[in-house]
Structure 1
Amino acid sequence: MKNNQAYAELMAYQRDTEALGKIAERTGWDQETMMPQGAADQRGIEMAAMEGVLHARRCNPQIAQWLADAEAADDVAAAQLYQIDRSYKRAVKVPGDLAQEMARVTSVAQGIWARARAAEKVADFLPTLREVIALKRQEAAALADGGDLYDALIDDYEPEATAESLGAMFDRMRPRLVALRAAVLAAEAPAGLSGQFPQDAQLRLARDVATAFGYDFTRGRIDLAVHPFSSGGGNDSRITTRVVESDPFNCLYSTIHEVGHSSYELAIDPDYGMTPLGHGVSMGVHESQSRIYENQIGRGRAMTGWIYDQMAARFGPLNVDGPEAFYRAVNRVHAGFIRTEADEVHYNLHIMMRFDLERALIRGDLAVDDLEAAWNDRFLADFGQVVDKPSHGVLQDVHWSVGLFGYFPTYSLGNVYAGCLHRAMRAAVPGLDAQLAQGDTSGAVGWLRENLQRHGGLRKPRDTIAHACGFEPTEGPLLDYLEAKFGELYRL
């Protein structure tokens, strides 16, 4: 077979696999937003069947032959072959019946977790969690080739990262974060925002803010979910948010966060559509987009000034007086229970705790029955607070119910990448704050689209960040940014 023919046949086959994967992903979106509760068991069967079809396609021996025969004509083709080869080598290690059972169990587990969370009953979820972990350990053992089980799972979300490298990064970050937290909490805290903010008005604001951040509603939509997420890509990338009527920042910043994820997917070069390069290259890089949208842009003084005007126009006078007080309220530091509501100073400490706990679960060093106590003990040690209820503790995150072990550390890695991107963007885009103060994000998001988002999976994760920034990523820019921002805010 001629090399160009083998490549063409492989890419045609891959496009169908990618299309089926999009259908499966949209089915998952429906489960979290619109599916009737009574359909959970049936949906599990449907998801397992779809996973069976996808797994068989991903393990097709013909892929190996195409890979052997194909020759890359350029850098894009080389990247396509690299990604297909990587996916194939991982897929063939996992038995098909195991892949299907994981799809079924994790689909059903989401509903069990949600009900246990609503009822504040950890015991109702533990048997299911035990089953999920057993399946994930089987998968990790198949992938690891005798190596570290947790590393094998991390590789699904952040290729070439390891527990050792991530742990070393956390060890370097922790002293400066803890010192900053101590200094901030010892200073006088600004007033927080209070009041009642009706759901419909919050959702209208969320939609308008999403539009201001460049979200394309002709290829996306906003819905409500227990745990906000984004889903899809190409010409169909959807987001969800949630509403607490006493806390409009929950809805507002969840929306901006998910817009960052979805905008990455929507900005990828259309020529990469329905190919391995047509989606974000890793969860760490993906998270860099959601975090820079949410924090460095969305919580910055310039953008919060515009958001203040929008809120005052919609909700009437606020209890914080003026844009500067509003900026301080948005960035108020407090040691809360909930990761998704955590301020920038505390956020990475939440991730470090989860990283240690889930690594212990996968390695067998922590029993599922001991997880709640371990969580509560660690939270008291790290945050100085006693967890008052499971939804504020071990039941707050959806991730473990759906088998996303190895995913949590990519949140902090995304923060690190966002710190690097922010430094580079500030140097490259003149007059950025003047634009943002008018609600004009085009300079910021345009820079991100051009330098990172449009390239999709063309480069490896760290190379993607280095290409955008012009320097190798480290945690230094993030920590410098946090110390400068909160040092000024709290007059340290």
Structure 2
Amino acid sequence: MTAFDDLMAFQRETSALGQIAGRLGWDQETVMPRGAAAQRAEEMAAIEAVLHSRRAHPQVAEWLEQAAPQDEVGQAQIREIRRAFDRAVKVPADLATAIARVTSAAQGKWAQARADEDVSAFLPVLEEVVSLKRQEGQALAQGGDIYDAMVEDYEPYTTGAQIAAIFDEMRPRLVALRAAVLERPSPAALRGSFSELDQMRLSQKLAVAFGYDLNRGRVDKAVHPFSSGSGSDVRITTRTVEGDPFNCFYSTIHEVGHAAYEQGIDPAFALSPLGRGVSMGVHESQSRIYENQLGRSRAFTGWLFDQMTEVFGDFGIADADAFYGTANRVHNGYIRTEADEVQYNLHIMLRFDLERALMAGDLQVADLEAAWNDRFYADFGYAVDKPSNGCLQDVHWSVGLFGYFPTYSLGNVYAGCLYQALRPAVPQLDDQLASGDTSGATGWLRENVQKFGGLYAPRDTIARASGIEPGPDPLLSYLEAKFGDLYDL
């Protein structure tokens, strides 16, 4: 056994323990009894203590010094292990354990506060989370920018300033497109009652249509849809709203994009640093292209219209063409996950600026609700009506995911680049989607993005697949063309 072999064996065990921790998180959001929250927080803290001790173990430093892999894969494994080790040794073990304990408890308190529309019940624990994450950021930044250190967890080799520059480039064209669209007549919205059981049955059919392998996954319900796991156990959740089946269907397609990425990674990378998505931005590129460029396309919505008619009967939309407009309707709303493609990134920009201010200490937790409501009114032109439509709508801050939100928009940017390359590569795409067959597109994504896992850096992954340096212009041009046609601009 060489030092590299010893290191990879050790890493495999660490990754397996990480998967167990992830399964605890999945259980907590799906089927865990409410009364188990306090015990689960201790369980999460205990396993995080074990994981942190392994990630920062002195033996890892020795192996890294001695390991000398000769091939591209081995070098990438060392790159990612070294990056994780360098971060882990900067964070005190007791701080890592405290964060795991508090964020596990905070998740349940957020869910209850959201249900009760009671921001004041959530703010004390959010104050703890923010304080602990700022301490972690300071430890990681070593005198540098705290928020940059946070972003590194989700989008390696990217800074807050770089993200801000991308958003500054995107905002004027998005705002102009929104203004033009909202001046035009709007397609009809869905109306009526759609049974939860039928929604879940059709959502499972959609999951399979987009290539989700149910032999290595499952579909459950959660307050906030998510995907969990990698390799041979990748689970997704969705949610149902009686009057809005799109919430269920497009949440499912979105999470299948994440899950298909994990299921599509080269099995040789399993339980190694390369055996998971390289970044959340690249992850979101898969979920967003599945959901939007494919799932909301004219061709695929024609097939979905037939499926919904078969399940629900006449639900008030005249034909497939009208249904395409309904599925892409630009409308006022509060909820990020339900936002149309034109306005979605504006929701992300709001969260990015607020969480960046929280990490910098420029915004206090006590002032978060007012800051959110003021910014929302300034950006969207109408007032937040209740906390669950405002600062309590997302789970991310309760579980300490600061630096995560901008990756949603980076994912949209990456998806725009990929779709530009995918169209000519799959010339029969529209005909395939019109019959509910996504395999041409999803197969291209698996071969050009998903199978590589963490082998290449995030932007390199997208550049290799799309043939261009990632930037927002393909996304913005796609949106302007799609909604210009849809709204006769």
Does the Cα contact within 8 Å between 1:335 and 1:346 map onto a contact in 2? no
Please give the secondary structure, in 2, of the residue aligned with 1:54.
helix
Q: C-alpha distance in 2, partners of 1:134/1:357?
A: 15
Q: Matches of residues 56-455 of structure 1 in structure 2 within 5 Å? A: 56-455=53-452
1:479 to partner: Cα distance? 0.1
Q: Which consecutive residues of structure 2, in runs of 5 or more, have no partner in the other structure?
A: none
Does the Cα contact within 8 Å between 1:287 and 1:410 map onto a contact in 2? yes
Please give the secondary structure, in 1, of the residue aligned with 2:329.
coil
Query: Cα RMSD over matched residues?
Result: 0.5
Residue 45 of structure 1 is matched in structure 2 by 42
1:116 to partner: Cα distance? 0.3
Q: C-alpha distance in 2, partners of 1:487/1:193?
A: 22
Residue 10 of structure 2 is matched in structure 1 by 13
Please give the secondary structure, in 1, of the residue aligned with 2:220.
strand
Q: C-alpha distance in 2, partners of 1:430/1:118?
A: 47
Please give the secondary structure, in 2, of the residue aligned with 1:246.
coil
1:430 to partner: Cα distance? 1.1
Amino acid at match of 1:108: A
Runs of 4+ in 1 over 2 A off after TM superposition: none
Residue 469 of structure 1 is matched in structure 2 by 466
Please give the secondary structure, in 1, of the residue aligned with 2:242.
coil
For 1:387-406, what per-residue CA distance to the aligned partner results, in whole angstroms no more than 9, with x for missing partners?
Answer: 11000000000000000000
Please give the secondary structure, in 1, of the residue aligned with 2:137.
helix
Please give the secondary structure, in 2, of the residue aligned with 1:25.
helix
Q: C-alpha distance in 2, partners of 1:182/1:315?
A: 34
1:471 to partner: Cα distance? 1.2
Amino acid at match of 1:405: F
Identity of aligned residues (%): 67
1:427 to partner: Cα distance? 1.5
More displaced stretch, 465-474 vs 243-252: 465-474
Please give the secondary structure, in 2, of the residue aligned with 1:173.
helix
1:145 to partner: Cα distance? 1.0
Amino acid at match of 2:118: K
Q: Does 1:487 align with 2:478?
A: no
1:194 to partner: Cα distance? 1.0
Please give the secondary structure, in 1, of the residue aligned with 2:2.
helix
Please give the secondary structure, in 2, of the residue aligned with 1:290.
helix
For 1:22-59, what per-residue CA distance to the aligned partner results, in whole angstroms no more than 9, with x for missing partners?
Answer: 00000100000010000000000000000000000001
TM-score under structure 2 length normalisation: 1.00
Amino acid at match of 1:417: Y
Amino acid at match of 1:182: A
For 1:457-483, what per-residue CA distance to the aligned partner results, in whole angstroms no more than 9, with x for missing partners?
Answer: 000000000011111111000000000
1:318 to partner: Cα distance? 2.0
Please give the secondary structure, in 2, of the residue aligned with 1:218.
helix
Q: C-alpha distance in 2, partners of 1:441/1:419?
A: 18
For 1:288-342, what per-residue CA distance to the aligned partner results, in whole angstroms no more than 9, with x for missing partners?
Answer: 0000000000000000000000000000012111100000000000120000000
Q: C-alpha distance in 2, partners of 1:229/1:246?
A: 21
Picking from 22, 25, 41, the partner of 1:25 is 22
Q: C-alpha distance in 2, partners of 1:379/1:76?
A: 45
Q: C-alpha distance in 2, partners of 1:211/1:68?
A: 45
Amino acid at match of 1:150: Y
TM-score under structure 1 length normalisation: 0.99
Q: C-alpha distance in 2, partners of 1:228/1:222?
A: 10
Q: C-alpha distance in 2, partners of 1:210/1:274?
A: 25
Q: C-alpha distance in 2, partners of 1:424/1:304?
A: 22
For 1:320-366, what per-residue CA distance to the aligned partner results, in whole angstroms no more than 9, with x for missing partners?
Answer: 11100000000000120000000000000000000000000110001
Q: C-alpha distance in 2, partners of 1:49/1:143?
A: 22
Does the Cα contact within 8 Å between 1:48 and 1:103 map onto a contact in 2? yes
1:82 to partner: Cα distance? 0.2
Amino acid at match of 1:276: P
Q: C-alpha distance in 2, partners of 1:445/1:10?
A: 34
1:193 to partner: Cα distance? 1.3
Q: C-alpha distance in 2, partners of 1:466/1:241?
A: 31
